[in-house]
Amino acid sequence: MTMIQINDDAPAVIVASDQTQSAPIVIAHRGASGYLPEHTTEGVVLAHAMLADYIEQDVVLSKDGIPVVFHDLILDDLTDAASVLPDLRRADGRWHVMDFTLAELRTLTVTERRSPSRPWKDKGNRFPLESGRFRISTLAEHLQLIHGLNRTRPHQAGVYVELKGPAEHRAASLDISKAVLEVLTQHGYDSPDDHIYLQCFDEAEVLRLRTELKTPLRIIQLLSQPADAAKLKTIAEVADGIGVPLSHVVTGKNADSTPQVTELVRNAHANALQVHVWTFRTDALPGFAGTAAEYLEWLVVAAGVDGIFADQPDVVVDWRTARRQQVNGGNSFRLLKERGQEKSQ
């Protein structure tokens, strides 16, 4: 891989690397969640079979401090906790993951999301509600599974770990960052070259990961609000990229059918930050996007995003493969910028 020096305004630890053959990286959003209940073992296996580059692992701690793979801090929308362990409901009327030991979490069944406020809910193409016997797994179990699949299949999938609610964990006398980093180290994730990203919305925790906890792993700062150039420059001091909603990058379609693209990716790349967007869903495309292929073309070629979270990762993988063939085996979208251990000389 050819390393090239970038502009002097970038942090000294940033390098740029030619990764055109892997653009964009495809991240299986909570596993293959467009086809199976999110964060289940079965969803991990399917995402691996669909050739996702990374498989997302949202992490919450159990009451006894074990990192488990689960998106929400509460269990209500995704499990049968209300009927299995009714006495563990809090005064707020909800069942919180951190109130359950791992043994108790093991007794629960995971289902497709029940909440109706999802644009794909009425389309009838998601896994049936209250169907199957899906279980909550630990982060260690999923890492072991992915390592095993990487050995038995001709595909190498990485992991993309999100630390959920660090402040809420601290309020329960739990340290999610330390617990997760310990598990990751035990499974061989301890270098910036490893096939892993860490992500978190909590900016103070991202800073802590890099400074106090001194992790060398690649970090993505998640953002729910658009960031200006000054904000991106600050983020670049500790993080390797940003994770943003699709709508922060492509906002609509012009009268001539070209996409309306913001300056976010350009500004992020100027600070050597990768841009990973969430969440691509074939059954919830924005109204201005005619087809999934057209939308992907806008996101990747017109806007220049570096990674895409997808409920249907196979669709993005297939699109990427087809486009490579169209450009004679190459995929020359751009130079992606990554954080390295030292600046190239």
**Which residues are known to be catalytic?**
29, 71
The three-state (H, E, C) secondary structure of the chain, written as one string: CCEECCCCCCCCCEEEECCHHHCCEEEECCCCCCCCCCCCHHHHHHHHHCCCCEEEEEEEECCCCCEEECCCCECCCCECHHHHCHHHCCCCCCCEHHHCCHHHHCCCCECCCCCCCCCCHHHCCCCCCCCCCECCCEHHHHHHHHHHHHHHCCCCCEEEEEECCHHHHHHCCCCHHHHHHHHHHHCCCCCCCCCEEEEECCHHHHHHHHCCCCCCCEEEEECCCCCCHHHHHHHCCCCCEEEEEHHHCEEEECCCCCEEECCHHHHHHHCCCEEEEEEECCCCCCCCCCCHHHHHHHHHHHCCCCEEEECCHHHHHHHHHHHHHHCCCCCCCCCEEEECCCCCC
80: CB partners within 8 A, 6+ apart? 108, 109, 111
β-partners of residue 69 are 59
- Bond before 279 cis per omega within 30 degrees: yes
Burial of 255 (0-12, 13-18, 19+ CB in 10 A): exposed
For residue 251, how many C-alpha atoms fall within 13 Å in the half-sphere facing its CB?
8
